Amino acid sequence: MTVAVLTWTARLRQRAFRSRPADRAPVVLRHSRIYILPTRRGFAIIATLILMLLTSLNYALSLGLVLTFFLGGLVAAALLHTFRNLAGLEIKPLAGGEAFAGEPLAFSVALAAGAIARRAIELRAAGAMASVSLVPYATQAIALRVPTQARGRIALGRITLSSDQPLGLWRGFAYVHFPLTGVVFPAPELNAPPPPAGAEGAGERTAGASADSELAGLRDYQPGDPLQRVAWKAVARGAGWFSKSFEGSSGQGTVELAWASVPAALAIEARLARLTAWVLACERAARPFALTLPGVQLRPALSREHLREALTALALFDADTR
């Protein structure tokens, strides 16, 4: 992110609205960031108090004034508590996630409570919402599941932390804007034709044929591995979490996936969707694959990193660089 030299108005606007992703982790919420406004209920209660005040003044009801001012003191104290519920809260970005278009993409951030309990802190960003309460000194990772539509890199954008505790009369909020991005892979084509045959043929294997495949070994489980591949016996033994990795039994060769191997008649997004489906099919079938896109050349391999590289390349494919 290039933060150019800003004019003072722009700096002021940035300070007020945090519209640029310029925050560095971690951010501790201080008074300069926390805004407080009455909620609708707050406005209603304040209006009632004003009515009570006018009535008491007009009829010279001293006790009416006492009642009104007691309740006014309650409202004022609630303001301080609302502020305190946010002040000193620490937030830092953990990771921007990955997802296929149409599925929610989870960004994770961590909240640290500091010395006091935090009640019902709401986080909103890019259409995602999460609410969390924290005990003193607790640190908690929070997933913001942002809905996705199109492939590409998406930014989490500005996070709004807010809370209307304890009485729901005041809403305190603060903006935090981290340069946190995630990658949205193209949605795989449904019922795609099978990927082109590998160098040594025998491409009739389909997804789910892993039973026929040979167990190549175990590797550490990683979040996202299909559950069918978890080595449950190892888990049951207490040895830890492993995923089985397979190798084609008939010694299949590499599958060459290329931009050119998709019918040119299809639209760009449709071609990307098909390539994505093929990449996933190869992964499921445990067949090494290579991917060639205009400007991108991935050597044949079969691994999580390779898969991610391939999907990222598809996600960030820019039609103009062809």
Partner 1 sequence: MQATAARPLDPAQIRALGVLLVAAQLPLVVHLPIWVAAFGLFVAGLRFALLRRDGRLLRTRPARIPSWALALFAVAIALALRKSYGYFVGRDPCVAFLFVLAGIKFLEIRTARDGTLLACLAMFVALTPFFYSQSLLGGLAMLPAIVAAGVALEALARREPGAADPSMRSAWTRSASLIAQGLPIAAGLFLVFPRLATPLWGLPADHAAQSGLSDRMAPGSISELSLSDAVAFRVTFDGPPPRPADRYWRGPVLSLFNGREWRALPPRPGGSLARGDRPVRYAVTLEPDDHRWLFALDLPSSLPVADSGSVASSGPVASLARDLQLVTRAPLTRPLRYVQESILGTRHPVASADELRIDARMPPGNPRAVTFAQALRREHPGDRDYIATVLRWFRDQPFHYTLQPPLLEDHPVDAFLFDTRRGFCEHFASAFVVLLRAAGIPARVVTGYQGGEINPRGGYMIVRQSDAHAWAEAVVDGQWQRFDPTAVVAPSRIERGLYGSVPASDPVPLFARGDSGWINNVQLALDAINYRWRRNVIEFDHDRQRTLWRNWGLDGFPAWQAAAVAMAAVLAWAGAVFAAFAVKRRRGERTVRLWNALCRRLARAGLPRPAWEGPIAYASRAAKRWPQFAIAFGAIGDAYAMLRFGPVSDDERSALVATLARAIEVLPSPAALRATAHT
Query: Which stretches of the chain bind partner 1, using CB under 8 A?
Result: 39-41, 44-45, 47-49, 51-52, 54-78, 80-81, 84, 115-116, 120, 131, 133, 135-137, 164-169
Nearest CA to 222 among 234, 237, 240?
Answer: 240
Residue 196 CB, shortest distance to partner 1, in Å, is: 47
Alpha carbons within 13 A on the beta-carbon side of 22: 15
Residue type, 115: A
Residue 29 CB, shortest distance to partner 1, in Å, is: 15
Of 139 and 206, the one with the shorter C-beta distance to partner 1 is 139
Residue 84 CB, shortest distance to partner 1, in Å, is: 6
Residue 87 CB, shortest distance to partner 1, in Å, is: 9
Question: Please, are residues 87 and 32 in contact by the beta-carbon 8 Å criterion?
Answer: no
Structure token digits, residue 126: 């890019």
Q: From CA 111, how far away is CA 139, in angstroms rounded?
A: 6
Residue 34 CB, shortest distance to partner 1, in Å, is: 13
Alpha carbons within 13 A on the beta-carbon side of 194: 14
Residue 170 CB, shortest distance to partner 1, in Å, is: 10
Quote the crossing angle between the two packed helices 304-315 and 268-284, to the nearest 10°: 170
Q: Kindly report the length of the chain.
A: 322
Q: From CA 146, how far away is CA 128, in angstroms rounded?
A: 5
Of 78 and 282, the one with the shorter C-beta distance to partner 1 is 78
Of 41 and 304, the one with the shorter C-beta distance to partner 1 is 41
Residue 48 CB, shortest distance to partner 1, in Å, is: 4
Question: Please, are residues 110 and 140 in contact by the beta-carbon 8 Å criterion?
Answer: yes
Of 22 and 74, the one with the shorter C-beta distance to partner 1 is 74
Of 125 and 302, the one with the shorter C-beta distance to partner 1 is 125
Q: From CA 193, how far away is CA 212, in angstroms rounded?
A: 21
Beta strands 255-258 and 289-293 are parallel
Question: Please, are residues 137 and 116 in contact by the beta-carbon 8 Å criterion?
Answer: no
Instruction: Tell me how crowded residue 238 is: count the other CB atoms within 10 A of its CB.
Output: 6
Of 52 and 109, the one with the shorter C-beta distance to partner 1 is 52
Q: From CA 41, how far away is CA 13, in angstroms rounded?
A: 29
Of 113 and 154, the one with the shorter C-beta distance to partner 1 is 113
Residue 113 CB, shortest distance to partner 1, in Å, is: 10
Of 75 and 197, the one with the shorter C-beta distance to partner 1 is 75
